[in-house]
Amino acid sequence: MTNHSKKITAVIIISSGLIAYCVLYVLVIVKLKLSTILKIGLSAATVVIAVAVVTVMVERIREIKKGEEDDLSKY
């Protein structure tokens, strides 16, 4: 494995874990005895977080492929 593929694999594993956590959280919310509006609101917020994780994951993979190993160097 190259250094890039190790970093990309790490990003994918961590992101997948966070997304799995979000999915489980939504499933728990749906099973709870809450009002429908509260269930929808909490689930929607969790889905937004999951979408943000995917967006950041894709952005980070692009940075790694471009050779930007340390994205903090921009700042």
In the chain, domain spans: 3-64
Contact 51, 19 (CB under 8 A): no
Q: What is the pLDDT of residue 64?
A: 86
DSSP state of 39: H
Q: State residue 75's pLDDT score.
A: 46
pLDDT for the residue 37: 94
C-alpha to C-alpha distance for 47 and 68, rounded to whole angstroms:
29
DSSP annotation of 69:
-
Inter-residue contact 29 to 39 (CB < 8 Å)? yes
Print pLDDT tens along the chain (75 aa): 567 888 889 999 999 999 999 999 999 999 999 899 999 999 999 999 999 999 999 999 998 888 766 655 554
Is 30:39 a contact under the CB 8 Å cutoff?
yes
Q: What is the model's pTM?
A: 0.79
